[in-house]
Amino acid sequence: MRKLVLAFALAGAAAACLPHAALADKIDLSTTTCAQFLESDKTEIMLTLAWLDAYYKDVDAPPVIDTDKFVENAGKLGEYCAANPSIGLITAADEMFDN
């Protein structure tokens, strides 16, 4: 399962490099709700998850992507957003990841 999720993430990142009509020019995470995030297309979700992963790392953290932690955090955020669709995405991420 973990390899499948990782493959999905890599495919999403690769797809982001290609022209994509449904992908927004800008994604304003400060105004995005959990419902909007969950309704986004796969590429936008993966880009957002990757951005959040980097944003919530310590300033001095090494440039390493812990795929286990990435998948765990994505699951936590997905569950939280499903239960709280009207909450802002950054508020949800703060709840889940801010130390």
pLDDT digits (tens, 9 = 90+) for 27-41: 999 999 999 999 999
User: What pTM does this model have?
Assistant: 0.73
Question: pLDDT (tens digit, 9 = 90+) per residue, 46-88?
Answer: 999 999 999 999 999 999 999 999 999 999 999 999 999 999 9
Query: Which parts of 1-98 fold into alpha helices (H)?
Result: 2-16, 34-39, 42-55, 67-83, 89-97
For residues 55 and 25, which has the higher predicted lDDT (pLDDT)? Answer: 55
Which CATH topology does 2-97 take?
A: 10k-s Protein, Hypothetical Protein A; Chain A (1.10.890)
- Looking up tokens 């990435």 gives 70
Q: What sign does the dihedral 24-82-3-64 (CA atoms) show? A: positive
Residue positions counted in the chain: 99
Which residue matches tokens 């957002």? 48
